[in-house]
Chain A
Amino acid sequence: MRAPIVVAGASMAGLRTAEQLRAAGWDGPIILIGDESHMPYNRPPLSKEVLAGRATFDSLAFRPRTAVADVTWRLGTKAVRADLDRHLVELDDGEALTYAGLVIATGMRPRRLRCPGPTTGRHTVRTLDDARGLRDALTRPGVRVVVVGAGFIGCEVAATAVALGAAEVTVVDPLPLPMIGPLGEPLARALRDRHEQRGVRFALGTGVTAFEGEDHVTGVILADGSVLAADVVVESVGSVANTEWLDGNGLDLTDGVLTDEHLRVGCRPDVVAVGDIARFPNARYDGVPRRVEHWSIPTDTAKHAARVLAAHLGGTESGLAPFAPLPTFWSDQHDFRLQSFGAPALGKDDIRVLEGDLDGDVLVGYHTDGRLVGVVALGGTAAAAAAARHRAELLKQPALTA
């Protein structure tokens, strides 16, 4: 029998890559290894509709394409070691698989705070099981909630907690405004105002030093000495790549898995990385390798990596141009939506309001050397429709600067 393509990580990026391998003509065996016991499911609703109870946990499951009906699923199984010279992946049940091709799709896990204090009552949101636990905690009457980290997941959870009737919701962050990293100051300020108008409080410019409580957390101690009473704490302070199983292969694992311009890893044509874990150069921008934790990336990386890998295993070259996705991202908070197209973070020194104004539906543009590199729409569909009008400009392929 032919050696399989082994896909480590059975979530969105793993599933999409398996589907795209079939589309690219690979008809050999495919084995997906996933340490969660669930079939692949959709994560964004975990901090939004599903956490709020407006959609069921069952509604999260992806519908795999029929082309992957014959793949082997090894769920509840972890990849613990890889030997890329010998084309081997070892599993936690002791089995070792020899692969023809390897797809790295093990994604991220939440970073945890290492402050002293109790751990019970502290939550993260990454998995279905996390969201179940957090929903149980947030739906108890009169809870006081402290969200640590004002990134998009923290902002979404805060909005959902208010909607669920929490008595108090406070978001803590050492930075001066929510989501200031990806959005820049004007929009981050508008975002803070909208949250405050809807009942979210902020403790900004200060970090967490410790948690209070005996067995269960009862309070959060801030760097300025103040204490926030808390029944539920949510830690949304970024993520860590699940790369430990790749140690010892001489790979660059400093922030995710470094890839070349075709998502290949470690100069090996038989190993690719996809999804949140891939740190890839984007030929559309400056060519600097970055990880991108957007929902659009599993699909974009899957399409490119699958064609590259299938071509190699078929003894040819894919002939593809270097990977150059247009990142897109959305976030639902309260009754408004943020949508980002392109790479706003690269154009934060030159931010202009393109349409509308910051109190209503607004479209903001981000520029590098006078060129539009990203837009963010805040508000309702009018803002999203305005974003679409700038599509052609964002898709203009610039000369590589790196």
Chain B
Amino acid sequence: MKVVVDMNKCQDHGQCVFAAPDVFSFDDAGRLAYVADPDDALRDEVEEAADVCPLQAIRIED
């Protein structure tokens, strides 16, 4: 599974960090960081994160 976040849209809400902490986190500067190719076992979490992102900035590519 491939995860792409449109960083032009992202406003660092962290709703995704809450939904899928194994994939999304904040770096020391408070910007979003994420695992671009997470394990397929995390699919539910990642889909949840994509759904809750207020900017709809997260895309999942199979």
Contact = CB atoms under 8 A, between A and B. Distances in A.
A391 B51 contact: no
Count class of interface residues, chain A: 10 to 19
A385 B21 CA distance: 10
Interface in A327-350: 328, 330, 337, 339, 341
Contacts of B58: none
Report the 4 A-B pairs with minimum CB-CB distance, sorted nearest first.
A384-B14, A381-B30, A388-B17, A385-B26
A328 B54 CA distance: 11
A382 B30 contact: yes
Interface string A348-387: 0000000000000000000000000000000011101101
Contacts of A388: 14, 17-18, 21, 25
B2 interface: no
B14 A328 contact: no
B57 interface: no
Nearest to A332: B11
Contact of A299 (B12, B21, B52): B52
30 contacts: A44-B54, A62-B56, A63-B56, A296-B52, A299-B51, A299-B52, A328-B18, A328-B52, A330-B13, A330-B54, A339-B13, A341-B18, A380-B30, A381-B12, A381-B30, A381-B31, A384-B13, A384-B14, A384-B18, A385-B14, A385-B17, A385-B25, A385-B30, A387-B14, A388-B14, A388-B17, A388-B18, A388-B21, A388-B25, A391-B21
Interface in B4-59: 12-15, 17-18, 21, 25-26, 30-31, 51-52, 54, 56
Interface of B: 12-15, 17-18, 21, 25-26, 30-31, 51-52, 54, 56
A245 interface: no
Nearest to B24: A388
A330 B19 CA distance: 14
Contacts, number: 46
Contacts of B54: 44, 295, 330
Nearest to B14: A384
Contacts of A330: 13, 15, 54
Contacts of A380: 30
A327 to B, nearest CB: 11
Contacts of A381: 12, 14, 26, 30-31
From B12, B13, B15, B21, residue with most partner A Cβ within 10 Å:
B15
B52 A339 contact: no
Nearest to B32: A381
From A295, A341, A380, A388, residue with most partner B Cβ within 10 Å:
A388
A387 B12 CA distance: 14
B8 to A, nearest CB: 12
A337 B17 CA distance: 15
A312 B33 CA distance: 42
A242 B51 CA distance: 25
Contacts of A387: 14, 18
A339 B21 CA distance: 16
A339 B51 contact: no
Contacts of B51: 299
A339 B19 CA distance: 13
